[in-house]
Structure 1
Amino acid sequence: MTATSLRETSAADSGRETFASLNPATGDVVGTYPVTSAEEVDAALDRATAAATWWAGLGFDGRKDVMKRWKGVITRRMNQLAEVVHAETGKPHGDALLEIGLAIDHIAWASGHAKKVLGKQKVSSGMLMVNQSASVSYQPLGVVGVIGPWNYPVFTPMGSIAYALAAGNAVVFKPSEYTPGVGKWLVDSFAEVAGDHPVLQLITGFGPTGGALAGSPKVDKVAFTGSTATGKKVMAAAAENLTPVVIEAGGKDAMIVDADADLPAAVDAALWGAMGNAGQTCTGMERVYVHEKVYDEFVSQIVEAAREIRPGNDADAHYGPATMPSQLAVISDHVDDAIARGGRAVVGSADCVGERYVQPTILVDVPEDSRAITDETFGPTLVVNKVASMDEAVARTNATRYGLGASVFAKKSGSVIAQQIRSGMVSVNAVIAFAGIPALPFGGVGDSGFGRIHGPDGLKEFTYAHAVTNQRFKSALPLTSFKRTEKHEKTFTQMLTMLHGGKALDD
């Protein structure tokens, strides 16, 4: 097994196909996992269907109690889970703890707010239907398939898992083939508090396993996080059965820095947003548009700060290796293309990509049609370009097929600028802050996907609206009856005119 191999499959003594999870920093085998077959996916979905009935029957309070115990288990063993995350992704232990902590907070929010958000609520019947009482509640779909990513293998899938569970669904979870151990840890810890009920199950493998999940008529919704290209494949598989999907795909997030911005804070945020987790963050910063009045100073400060950033596998490293080796070629291509088109590397160089690690790289004067601007890089690189105005900055920010997150640094007009950005989320004078607030929806537009996780929208994403009317007394106007008369219709018309006719223009 070579140090740079993605994953290798082998036939076990029983003939079962397996694959190895590798440590991207060392190439060592972290664990071996089965490739779940289509037949096994089908069986898991059958078990989930039965478990969903029990789980939904617990009600909001019963599910909240189970999920409270689950988050307690995760919290008490978060260092253990962080070691699994570190081993499979290469990210520093502290970064692993950060994403685990945020995931725990989301479990608490989802289970604690599900009853208020999804429970039965009375709504107004209106004047025309005053004889009816009306209510709406949000019912679980049944079985949700979650296909998770490798870059944040705890936090990101938990945005779907926790909210789907809190809403009353059973979940079949396929983690990335790069992080199956993290997925197994999460599923095993839930089993400790759920007993013998397979409410949260694990399937492992590659694309065909995910395809079997997404394409099954036994799954009621699929939540996918990953690349736009793979998201389209998931949608195509789900479409065969009209299975709804929520897609959180790629991004090409930008930061806008106005002339009155707190430059040290903006520099710190841009650097962390671009380089943290080795740049492997869908909402990470890949572009910065800085007002020409402060551009030179911003570049000077970020160059100085970036020279202190170092990748590695030791405890003092700021970020780890590229988790997915194939991404190294993409990063190298984007840097080469930017330089070939006239861009300059003020930190790093065309040789920034190594066998496992990518050195911090900051590019300036990069043309807007270069791949470093138009395509998702997913590495510790950052383009910093000058703009003459905030209107130009917004126009460049929005000139992308993606629309996931963004950041604005400005003292006076931050909120105004934020409202003009076409993206699902924006942080003002911070970076990626929206991800840490459980009450806010998380998701994008365009090639960044659709649907929402987190917040009330995230809970409703895994339900269907159930509307009920109840006649309180007989109506004087039998509108939905063959007993309706011309007099009834005249009265109906008069009521409509009174309610909605307004004042004529020539009055």
Structure 2
Amino acid sequence: MPPPAWKADIDVTTSDLDRVLTGCRTAAAHWGSLSFGERERQLRRWANELARSRADVIATVREETGKPQADAELELLVGLEHLTWSARHAGRTLRPRRVSPGILAAEHQARVERRPLGVVGVIGPWNYPVLTPLGVLAGALAAGNTVVFKPSEYTTETGRALVEAFDRANPESADVLRLLPGGAEAGEALCRAGVDKVAFTGSTRTGQAVMAACADTLTPVVLECGGNDALIVAEDADVRAAARAAAWGAFSNAGQTCAGVERIYVVQSVGEQFLAALTAELAPVRAGHHYGRLTTPQQEKVVRVHVEDAAANGGRFLVGGPESFRGPGLVDPVVLTDVPEDRPAVQEETFGPVVVVRLVRDLDEGIARANAVPQALGAAVFSRSADPSVARRLRAGMVSVNGILTFAGVPGLPFGGNGASGFGRVHGREGLMEFTSAQAVTARRLHLTGSGLTRLRSPWWKHRALRALIRLRHGRD
């Protein structure tokens, strides 16, 4: 497996951004005027081009992130599913919707239209440099916007591959999707450039900086700021299935998954059985073989600090330990128990191959502890009864029951969280609507006597009619 391509910031000048933004603004009028069917055809050609060039795309992802082959292939597949879903459903989701005009405007027709915003700025992450941007880009483009896309500086070439594939597939749509390479300074410049919306995926701290920069121009934002997601194992769970799912959710992609598994709460009656199953599941697992490397050196430092702090404050190693850190980016699985709930490994997103397990009295305690962190992105519950009320009680934007991250693979479901995990949604109908504005329209179709209610020189009966309507529709004196 190739090592991750750890890079320094790439400089971007004001003239670079101006040139990119000017191109997108010019192209917005044409792209927004196309029918949904015409945009769908172009987005499908883009998906076909990415599929044809999959070997090169996957090789670039692996070079920049250190992912295994299978992980990069799965990421591309799920990303293409989201792309084609948005292309196919945009017309049905965003078409004009008739609204009852009510009694006061009975002579009018009323409708809601969804209008493209114009130019959307998309700031992508490094952990899933194909899947995450494609889900956002697809919604913005299918809704009729053009896009300035700034990938992470650690995965610039993957971002370039996405944009160049669009250009090869649709040479007639120049400047509809433009690349803005660069690091934090480029992202800040994009936020202050006056685009019509910014969609950001990354850490909570950077999300706060994005929101502050966008505030100067009142640029609306959709923020997906990661999570500290919990898995709850109920007393009636299929324990072996829960352990297999926990291992994948916590350690796939080296734990660098915003909606993965960072905390596990297991009801005591099945605690020993679950811990034994999880230990057995992870016994042969090694970084560099079963999952990839940590993509950035900064992230390895965070992981090490969280693990050392947990161990120094009473945490016990169930799997792994200091020896799990085997070299730059290579960290074998670490499972900790008995970590106090106020430690960073519990309260903060570790974003690495580390998971904390705690035994709880019952399901109620598990739910309470799952909800007791600032982030509220995703969650999972294993329970044979699959009581729907459990999902409703979890303060999370997404919940999988008897599965892990299943919601992320369903293109029609919205993706996003609450609290410190951000706000707004991408994917699905809600994701398409994020990249439009609602326009209310009325049009007169009849001329009724009652129209005198909205004239300055009203007929003599106006006040009497108004009093009668109030009594009739909203209660008598």
TM-score by length of 2: 0.96
C-alpha distance 353-480 of structure 1, shift in aligned 2 (>3 A): farther
Structure 2 distance, partners of 1:62, 1:145, is: 23
Query: How much does 1:475 deviate?
Result: 3.4
Secondary structure of 1:490's aligned partner: helix
1:319 to 283, 286, 291: 291
Q: Report matched runs for 1:27-426 at 5 Å.
A: 35-196=11-172, 197-217=174-194, 219-312=195-288, 317-354=289-326, 355-426=328-399
Say whether the 8 Å CA contact 1:414–1:428 is kept in structure 2. no
Work out whether 1:447 is the aligned partner of 2:447: no
Structure 1 distance, partners of 2:235, 2:460, is: 69
Say whether the 8 Å CA contact 2:371–2:394 is kept in structure 1. yes
Say whether the 8 Å CA contact 1:331–1:353 is kept in structure 2. no
Deviates more, 1:493-502 or 1:297-306: 493-502
Secondary structure of 2:42's aligned partner: helix
Structure 1 distance, partners of 2:264, 2:157, is: 36
Query: How much does 1:349 deviate?
Result: 0.8
Structure 2 distance, partners of 1:98, 1:407, is: 21
Query: How much does 1:174 deviate?
Result: 0.5
Higher relative contact order at CA 8 Å, sep ≥6: structure 1 or structure 2?
2
Which amino acid counterpart does residue 328 of structure 1 have in structure 2?
E
C-alpha distance 395-77 of structure 1, shift in aligned 2 (>3 A): same
Alignment partner, residue 10 of structure 1: none
Say whether the 8 Å CA contact 1:328–1:353 is kept in structure 2. no
Structure 2 distance, partners of 1:210, 1:259, is: 46
Which amino acid counterpart does residue 468 of structure 1 have in structure 2?
V
Which amino acid counterpart does residue 62 of structure 1 have in structure 2?
E
Query: How much does 1:490 deviate?
Result: 2.3
**1:216-255 deviation digits (Å, cap 9, x = unpaired):** 12x1110100011111111111111000011000210000
Secondary structure of 2:63's aligned partner: helix
**1:458-485 deviation digits (Å, cap 9, x = unpaired):** 0010110111101111233222211224
Structure 2 distance, partners of 1:180, 1:133, is: 49
Structure 1: which 5+ runs fail to align? 1-22
Query: How much does 1:413 deviate?
Result: 4.1
Query: How much does 1:447 deviate?
Result: 0.7
Structure 2 distance, partners of 1:318, 1:103, is: 22
Say whether the 8 Å CA contact 1:33–1:204 is kept in structure 2. no
Say whether the 8 Å CA contact 1:414–1:429 is kept in structure 2. no
Structure 1 distance, partners of 2:456, 2:3, is: 78
Say whether the 8 Å CA contact 1:90–1:320 is kept in structure 2. yes
Say whether the 8 Å CA contact 2:254–2:294 is kept in structure 1. yes
1:473 to 446, 457, 468: 446
Which amino acid counterpart does residue 191 of structure 2 have in structure 1?
A
Structure 2 distance, partners of 1:470, 1:351, is: 72
Structure 1 distance, partners of 2:5, 2:72, is: 19
Secondary structure of 1:426's aligned partner: strand
Structure 2 distance, partners of 1:122, 1:29, is: 52
Structure 2 distance, partners of 1:455, 1:462, is: 12
Query: How much does 1:320 deviate?
Result: 0.9
Say whether the 8 Å CA contact 1:145–1:214 is kept in structure 2. yes
- CA RMSD, Structure 1 to Structure 2 (Å): 1.7
Say whether the 8 Å CA contact 2:5–2:154 is kept in structure 1. no
Which amino acid counterpart does residue 461 of structure 1 have in structure 2?
E
TM-score by length of 1: 0.91
Query: How much does 1:77 deviate?
Result: 2.2
Structure 2 distance, partners of 1:80, 1:414, is: 45
The percentage of aligned residue pairs carrying the same residue is: 45
Secondary structure of 1:136's aligned partner: strand
Structure 2 distance, partners of 1:367, 1:87, is: 38
Q: Greater helix percent: which structure?
A: 2
Work out whether 1:457 is the aligned partner of 2:430: yes
Say whether the 8 Å CA contact 2:27–2:176 is kept in structure 1. yes
Structure 2 distance, partners of 1:414, 1:171, is: 42
Query: How much does 1:28 deviate?
Result: 6.5
Structure 2 distance, partners of 1:458, 1:252, is: 22
Structure 2 distance, partners of 1:475, 1:270, is: 65
